[in-house]
Chain A
């Protein structure tokens, strides 16, 4: 939202500068300055609200991470960065990071692959609109409900998924969530089921924007469908995949609801990805200071990853069309 506002700001400026509206330059400049201030006033309420709900809690979080916070029973006390130094020795914290990365990468890989493939099929289908609506249904479900539904499907006594896998000889008597070697697969599948539709939706939007003449030029150059996909469609999809991956990354880093319902982090901590551990520390053990420190590491890594992704994908050529112009 903030970005959009800044963008609106910049583009209004550009209209005044480049739009040819300005005949008398000094007067135009005065006008521009005036209007900019006017727009700034218009944005003030939004800026104040944003500051209140994002900036204040953010600084409060930093404060907490530096103190021992005792939920109001005693005063917060400065503890010489103990919250932070302890993280270095915290095996569960490190394990949590490793599991989170494993979980996110698995989800991302399958969701993007499946999402792109399904979007490609839907894009050519005559019944695209109906099919998209159907495919979007999992996404509309609350994650906790999705977790519950799958919890029952995975159930080793009456879950049909378990029955199916057992009949095929893939699973034994134990539920997929019951063994520390397979539980991760179980929660990944739920995520894939629920969030692949988002990728489909975004990629479909991207596919509509792939310039047809580039596809045709490549066909005339001698490319078949597969080569055309990798040489033209995929590069033109990069910005859209970036949006999708970024969104999913951020989601995964605060993902907790379905896991709490499905495994609660078990068995034997095999699905205790960092956000789940963070939940334990803050709201089971009520170590709010330590929780704040863990949350800040998550935030920092999210920001860094986001920046890397933007850098990787933001090749100017892939975000703009090259048609027309002199």
Chain B
């Protein structure tokens, strides 16, 4: 097992930086997801960890040992590729046995390990098949099998389930998580799918344009996003952002939008820590599930809006409403009945909003 630390790592392709000053720690046995949109540098990071890409600057340490210049074969890690990268001319068995054969492990041990992995991944009846004769899910399990028979110190997964259909993907998510818990191997998993990251990882590292935005547990990333970009990237449907300003009247701080105004409570003010003045222009962010909707004005639903469209998603109903030319998405019960053009009243859970500085997007509350 290995702990990994990435220290001030840079990656340039020609003059284009792909990874900028990345610092990331990964504890022994931890499942870390690197999450970000395509082109954010997550795959470059993984390839540098695997030794497939030269590190332009900085260090990568495995168990406090610098491995920058070690070739992939000496790093004792296993990688699962996005396109599986199975050897098409070899059977499933030989694909899985490949690494052990290279290590010159004796035949009986190879056989035992491959059979064990096949059992774990339910591949036993398919061991004689060629990759072309496998379905997507089977190929993917074969690729994982190839990785686990080696019992490496580190697993690298590069969007391994991106090509599976939705149902199989959900199944594989839980399978992977169970497998990682069972093997207790350090795992770094790259994905652009927030659902994968949130559901599987111990910790998530969110990247954008080569820069690490935030590292934290799934709930930290979801509930306390470090900036507006992370807040908008995580969560489906995306967080609502409203242009607001912080104003002071009668000695009270107010958050004002052109349709409403809230007084800030003591907790908010404490978090703002007196910086309200410099940050009078803010974005208020609130997730659709923290906005409530009602057909009639009540003290809890003071903000008037107009229903634009509704979307029924089985157990949830998404309502998109227009509040003084700002679009707000609300996630509510499917029994709420609304038609296009209906007047509605919205309430916001003031304990769940976020304030972001409008220019920089830095989180204030």
A residues near B (Cβ < 8 Å) are 211, 213-214, 216-224, 227, 231-232, 235-236, 315-318, 320-326
Contacts and interface: CB of A to CB of B under 8 A. Distances in A.
A320 B132 contact: yes
Nearest to B99: A221
Contact of B71 (A211, A219, A231): A219
A220 B78 contact: yes
Contacts of B139: 322
Interface residues of B, number: 35
Interface in B64-109: 71-73, 77-79, 81-89, 98-99, 102-103
Nearest to A321: B88
Interface in B118-166: 130-132, 135-137, 139, 146, 150, 163-165
B50 interface: yes
Nearest to B152: A220
A320 B132 CA distance: 9
Contacts of B150: 221
B57 interface: no
A223 B89 contact: no
The 4 lowest CB-CB distance pairs between A and B, nearest first, are: A326-B136, A213-B85, A323-B83, A317-B88
A223 B84 contact: no
A322 B91 CA distance: 13
Interface centre among B86, B89, B102, B103 (most CB of A within 10 A): B89
A116 to B, nearest CB: 17
B52 interface: yes
B89 A317 contact: yes
Contacts of A224: 73
B109 to A, nearest CB: 15
Contacts of B86: 214, 217, 322
Contacts of B72: 216, 219-220, 222
A219 to B, nearest CB: 5
A102 B179 CA distance: 58
B89 A214 contact: no
Contacts of A321: 88
Contact of A217 (B51, B79, B89, B165): B79
B102 A223 contact: yes
Contacts of A217: 79, 81, 85-87, 146
Nearest to B163: A324
Given A217-B79, A217-B81, A221-B98, A326 B163 contact: yes
22 contacts: A213-B85, A214-B87, A216-B81, A216-B85, A217-B85, A217-B146, A219-B71, A220-B51, A220-B73, A220-B78, A220-B79, A222-B103, A227-B102, A231-B87, A235-B88, A236-B88, A318-B88, A322-B86, A323-B85, A326-B136, A326-B164, A326-B168
Given A219-B72, A223-B102, A325 B136 contact: yes
A323 B84 contact: yes
Contacts of A318: 88-89
A316 B132 contact: yes
B98 A218 contact: yes
A72 to B, nearest CB: 57
A222 B163 contact: no
Given A231-B98, A235-B87, 18 more contacts: A211-B85, A216-B81, A217-B79, A219-B51, A219-B52, A219-B73, A220-B73, A220-B77, A220-B78, A220-B79, A221-B73, A221-B98, A221-B146, A222-B73, A227-B102, A324-B136, A324-B163, A325-B136
Contacts of A316: 130, 132
A56 B50 CA distance: 62
Interface string B187-230: 00000000000000000000000000000000000000000000
A325 B163 contact: yes
A222 B81 contact: no
Interface centre among A216, A221, A315, A323 (most CB of B within 10 A): A221
A211 B103 CA distance: 23
B330 to A, nearest CB: 35
A184 B131 CA distance: 45
A128 B132 CA distance: 33
Nearest to A320: B132
B51 to A, nearest CB: 8
A213 B72 CA distance: 13
Contacts of A236: 88
Interface centre among A217, A227, A326 (most CB of B within 10 A): A217
A223 B88 CA distance: 17
A238 to B, nearest CB: 8
Contact of A317 (B132, B135, B137): B132
Nearest to B80: A217
Contacts of A326: 135-137, 163-165, 168
Nearest to B138: A326
A216 B75 CA distance: 13
A317 B131 contact: yes
B131 to A, nearest CB: 4
Contacts of B87: 214, 217-218, 231-232, 235
B34 to A, nearest CB: 18
